[in-house]
Amino acid sequence: RKEVEQDPGPFNVPEGATVAFNCTYSNSASQSFFWYRQDCRKEPKLLMSVYSSGNEDGRFTAQLNRASQYISLLIRDSKLSDSATYLCVVWGTTDSWGKFQFGAGTQVVVTP
Amino acid sequence: ETGVTQTPRHLVMGMTNKKSLKCEQHLGHNAMYWYKQSAKKPLELMFVYNFKEQTENNSVPSRFSPECPNSSHLFLHLHTLQPEDSALYLCASSPGTGNTGELFFGEGSRLTVL
């Protein structure tokens, strides 16, 4: 089983619509959770951290469900510029070492 | 100036060549990382350095040799690579190797091995 699993997509979203997708993680000792955004042929950049109580940053809302071990990202009022791959990143400890684990990414394509 | 800079941005090399990738961070971080990103796969951690000491070598073949002369600079020396090593190599830094927050990535070095 992969440490962090994501639906690869692509999610084709009309401009102005809402899109949501999840990420599941296997390590119950995971402590920190992030969504990164990666544009084509560019480096990943932090979109937002995910907090236990859920958090919102403009049109983006992230949720954490520790019991079911998943996090989610919802994008409202999608813009063409939201087209990207969204990486789920989890920090947790295994064998006494802490490390970041990455999902393979969910591709979002916003269409006019 | 960006926080983490990588050079070269693109590199094409033959299997018998020796080349190096360079990474420099201007964020005052103590930890630096090399990741490999292949198409449609999660980022693979290769090496971690904390206070210029290697803390993790993720079973990387010896044809990849890291060097960390100080907390701000990280190199990846490449020697007798294989075509399957073609990928995007990303350098990243963070305040420490613990649960200290986000990773900051460089723009990556796209490597093609012929």
Choose from A97, A100, A101, A106 for mutation: most chain B CBs within 10 A: A100
d(CA B111, CA B78): 10
- Mutating which of B9, B29, B100, B105 best tests the A interface, going by the most A Cβ atoms within 10 A? B105
CA distance, residue B75 to nearest chain A CA (Å): 18
Phi, psi dihedral angles at B110 (to 5 degrees) = -90, 115
Q: Write b or e for each residue in B53-86: b if 16 or more Cβ atoms lie within 10 A of its Cβ, otherwise e.
A: eeebeeebeeebebebeebbebbbebeebeeebb
- Which residues are registered as beta bridge partners of A78? none
With an 8 Å Cβ cutoff, is A102 touching chain B?
yes
Residue A104: name the closest of B43, B108, B33, B85 by CA: B43
Please check whether residue A26 touches B, CB under 8 A: no
Is B99–A99 a contact, with Cβ atoms under 8 angstroms apart?
Answer: no
Residues in chain A with CB shorter than 8 Å from the CB of B45 are: 99-100
pLDDT for A97 = 66
Tell me if chain B has a CB within 8 Å of the CB of A89. yes
Q: Residue B85 and residue B89: Cα distance in Å, rounded?
A: 10
pLDDT digits (tens, 9 = 90+) for A23-46: 999 988 888 999 999 999 899 999
Cα–Cα nearest to A84, from A33, A18, A36: A36
Q: What is the pLDDT of residues B59-102, one digit of tens each?
A: 899 999 999 999 999 999 999 999 999 999 999 999 988 777 78
**Residues A60/A73, Cβ–Cβ less than 8 Å:** yes
By three-state DSSP, how is residue A20 classified?
strand
Give the list of residues 6+ apart from residue B39 with CB closer than 8 angstroms, or none.
none
A7 CB-near residues (< 8 Å, 6+ apart): A21, A22, A106
pLDDT digits (tens, 9 = 90+) for A55-81: 999 999 999 999 999 999 999 999 999
**pLDDT band at residue B1 under the 50/70/90 scheme:** low
CA distance A94 to chain B (A): 12
Task: Find the mean pLDDT for residues A88-107.
Answer: 86
